[in-house]
Amino acid sequence: MRIDIVTVQPGLLEGAFSHSILKRAQDKGVASVHVHDLRPFGSGKHFQVDDYAYGGGAGMVMRLEPLVACIESLQSERTYDEVIYLTPDGERLNQGIANQLSLKGNLILLCGHYKGIDHRLREHVVTREISIGDYVLSGGELAAAVLTDAIVRLLPGAMNDETSALSDSFQDNLLAPPVYTRPAEFRGWKVPEILTGGDTKAIDVWRHQQSLERTRRIRPDLLEE
């Protein structure tokens, strides 16, 4: 999988993909992540990529021309399955969306900035709009990093144990069960005996029951869905 991220603040993404699972996935050739500075596609001596909004109002708007030029430059080199715009008013990211996108080949992620992008790009070029939550960030860069991480960790070979992702929260619309490690007792706090007994079937049942209980208590909306 290849992910190309278009941004006016590439510095915000410098360290996001050089550690942990994302780094290993790239080193192993499972995925490649490329960050593209939009400014070289801007106009004038200042490489302008924004302008005032038609109709007035506070804030600047990202211009069509540099965005289209950058996207078409990438598309001239390969085919992309999705052109995704990270925006607070997009569909809210969940594990199902991450699963869907992990099956794709190449993705372009557009990071919004200022008051957003010229809406004509959303109407004619963008294929999907995604939000990471009902709040506003200074730009789409952190959201792009979150989305990339959520996708890449699902790719075969990205994790040392590929079954690990299958037991994550939200994969089956349930929260994950509690987990424990050594020592079995610390300051009188004990690991549940069932986890140390070696009965794998009983442990599976216990974990499922714990997932249901935690979901009912913390996120009952998931059970309604």
Q: What is the pLDDT of residues 25-45, one digit of tens each?
A: 999 999 999 999 999 999 988
Boundary of a domain, candidates 152, 177, 201: 152
Percent of the chain past pLDDT 70, that is, above it, reads 96
Residue 216 pLDDT greater than 80, yes or no: yes
DSSP SS3 for 62:
strand
Residues 217 and 184 in one domain: yes
Place of tokens 């990270």: 86
Is 191 domain-assigned? yes
Residue 160 pLDDT greater than 90, yes or no: no
Residues 10 and 68 in one domain: yes
Residues 45 and 105 in one domain: yes
Is 192 domain-assigned? yes
Residue 49 pLDDT greater than 60, yes or no: yes
Per the prediction, the chain carries an average pLDDT of 94
Range of the domain at 75: 2-152
Residue 66 pLDDT greater than 70, yes or no: yes
Residues 115 and 48 in one domain: yes
**Nearest alpha-carbon partner for 169 in 131, 200, 212, 224:** 212
Place of tokens 């069932």: 194
Question: Predicted confidence band at 173 (pLDDT cuts at 50, 70, 90)?
Answer: confident
- As for how many domains the chain has, the answer is 2
Cis upstream peptide for 40 (omega within 30°): no
